[in-house]
Structure 1
């Protein structure tokens, strides 16, 4: 994995998911607990010095990374579109 485009999730268009805005809302919701905090599995990906967090930080072009910062970044449609796509 050298570029963000090397990993991409593609979803088939369904009655429940017909546009990227809806998919984004569902993905963000799935990555958060009921109180709005990142789920435990996401937290684990952002342990200090993890390979995943280093790679995401490089893609995001930031200076610090955490699961919360990642969710804020992912919540912007232009960033979400870098990873997720809907096909007919």
Structure 2
């Protein structure tokens, strides 16, 4: 977080910018578990699901994303251990 000085030389904290959810911006209500190419964008090179800080998704959609990725892995459309 950046800090600024005011005229009295006291620290003033600046406000952080709000994160904008990828799914809310693009009006996506249902995450399709059969679309493995789309779901690969939310995995790292080792096959782990990326956290909310990196993907910038809301809690609601992060849970839906997790469920869709796990379903896709179970069907064999995504690998468990990497891309």
TM-score between the two structures when normalised by the length of structure 1: 0.30
Which of the two has higher C-alpha Rg?
A: 2
Tell me which of the two structures has the higher relative contact order, counting C-alpha pairs closer than 8 angstroms and 6 or more residues apart: 1
Q: Which has the higher helix share?
A: 1
